[in-house]
Amino acid sequence: MMESLTASLKRGFGHTTFREGQQAALTALEQHQDTLAVLPTGAGKTLIYQLYGYRHAGCVLIVSPLLALMTDQVNRMRVAGFRRVAAITSLTSYAERQVILAHFADYQFLFLSPEMLAQPTMLAQVQQLRLSLLVIDEAHCIVQWGPDFRPEYLLLGAIRERLARPLTLMLTATADSATQHEIAKQLRTTPQIITESIDRPNIFLDVEAVANDAEKRERLLQLVSQLVFPGVVYFSSKQLASDMAQWLQEQTGLPIAAYHAGLSSEDRFKIQQQFMAGELAVICATSAFGMGIDKNDIRYVIHYHLPTDLGSYAQEMGRAGRDGQQSLAVLLSAPGDERLPLTLMEANRPDDTTIQRFYAHPQAFDSDDPGIALLTFYYQHGISLAAVQTLFTRREQERHHALAQMLAYAREPDCLRDRWLTAFGQADSTHTAKCCAPAKVPLDLAALGLKRTVQPAVNPVTLDWRARLETLFLSNN
């Protein structure tokens, strides 16, 4: 007989108890039930498929939309002791891909991007594998991102059929019941749904209303100067993240760095590791920063720009306080902040005229343009002009609705938590003073225990280079 889940957890991972949701999802999978797990950020979703893969022969195939982060996931699994792990995405070089394919059947965990899996040759290779589990990571992208960015997610239902309907685990941190329904429908399954409250009671929610950009910058400086760290400040542009990191460092004397996709992979590695090691007080980041950061003691997350929807906001601010200690999520909000996400939305979407012209002469367009690439995809999959137009219109409405919800949160006069949870069908009516501070309510850092009392030590002692080399290579024991 197979050992119990708890015994496997202890033996394979050294933990004695599951976090909420993990055991329920694993139990369902063990009963060969397709499972949709809607668990909050930080709930340990990856452990579910790691443990399943640990207990069962065959390959766990993980489809993930986050290209750059897949390599990181592979590294993390290797650090955790899983050696037979690989990822193939469009970023994987040809040579690398050949090496992986040569050992394809040996892998215990394989990460593939949806577009890679959709390629007929790759799919044929995958069909040869003995799949123990198919994992659809960030499953909400089937609904949320599909029509805009990753149309291949829409093919997953058909792909799953081609793979002879393997046992499937769908993972997401954010899905209301409509989204859950849509995910199940797209993947052509009736999964057992495991949901846990997405609430993070130890994160105090705060919206700070400011009059303009200058005031916003000043308020950010105040907060960063006063708050206990480590903290993360999110920006929607790489340039601003870099500029503000430098400015904040000059103003506060704290060790602060920027992190975004514009940095070299070496720099991203270093910044990430410095942050993990406690050498940095604050990271000024774009949404590129997040996954792969297993840092439990982040005390605050500040958003300098309005996120496009509550789901991504919850993901990002949810990186605070994973240790369960009191933490803070601040949204800085100025009039007109919605203009930026609106502009970004429009930039991502081909307009009606373009769609019509494209359908008249598809060859005449440059598929390097992401909008055109998307249209090409639809065209090649035989989706009609009218259907595409409807799709875009509907998607635009959804995004406007999502942005309106985000704005409603920023403008919420009574309870931010209630506003957030209601949007995900998890209403909460137990507002207290310890819960949140909407725009008109002042933020009391001292009462939260988040006000810094000791001045941080300035500049760490810099070692002479010989001493530094020695500490790198010579162990004291």
Partner 1 sequence: MTPQDLLQLLSQRQVRRLRVIENLLRGRKTVSTLYWGQRYGLLYLLGLDKALQRGALDQVAQTLVTQRLAAWTQDEQPQLRLTPAGHTQQQATTYYHPQTALTWPRVDLKLVTQRLFLAVQVVSQYAHHNVQYYPLMTDLATQQAVRQWFHQIKSTALAQMVLTALTHSLTQLPELTAMVTTAGLSGYQQPGQTTAQLARTYQESAWEIYLRRVDGVIQIATDARKRDHPLHPLLAPAWQTPVTRSAQATLAAVTTTSLSLDQVAQQRHIKPSTVREHLLEAAIMLPVTAVPYDRLLPQTTRQDLLAALPGALDDWEYMALTPELQARYDFFTFRLLAIWCGKQGEMA
Give me the DSSP letters along 129-197: S-EEEEEETTTTHHHHTTTTT-GGGGGHHHHHHHTT---EEEEES---HHHHHHHHHHTT--PEEEE--
Nearer to partner 1, 368 or 464 (CB): 464
Question: Residue 104 Cβ, how far from partner 1 at the closest point, in Å?
Answer: 15
Nearer to partner 1, 19 or 76 (CB): 76
Question: Residue 34 Cβ, how far from partner 1 at the closest point, in Å?
Answer: 33
Nearer to partner 1, 27 or 125 (CB): 125
The strand pairing partners of 330, in sequence order, are 206, 302
* Rounded distance between C-alpha atoms, residue 38 and residue 59, angstroms: 23
Nearer to partner 1, 69 or 306 (CB): 69
Nearer to partner 1, 106 or 346 (CB): 106
Nearer to partner 1, 274 or 422 (CB): 274
Please give the residue ranges that form the binding site for partner 1 (CB under 8 A). Answer: 71-72, 75-76, 78-79, 81, 93, 95-96, 99, 249, 257, 263, 265-274, 276-277, 279, 462, 464-466, 468-475
Question: Residue 216 Cβ, how far from partner 1 at the closest point, in Å?
Answer: 25
HEC secondary structure over 380-392:
HCCCCHHHHHHHH
DSSP at 364: G
* Rounded distance between C-alpha atoms, residue 314 and residue 225, angstroms: 24
Question: Residue 412 Cβ, how far from partner 1 at the closest point, in Å?
Answer: 39
* Rounded distance between C-alpha atoms, residue 193 and residue 182, angstroms: 13
Nearer to partner 1, 23 or 71 (CB): 71
Question: Residue 86 Cβ, how far from partner 1 at the closest point, in Å?
Answer: 9
DSSP at 369: S
116 Cβ contact list (under 8 Å, min separation 6): 88, 89, 90, 122
Please tell me whether residue 48 adopts helix, strand or coil conformation.
helix
Question: Residue 277 Cβ, how far from partner 1 at the closest point, in Å?
Answer: 6
Question: Residue 269 Cβ, how far from partner 1 at the closest point, in Å?
Answer: 5
* Rounded distance between C-alpha atoms, residue 96 and residue 102, angstroms: 10
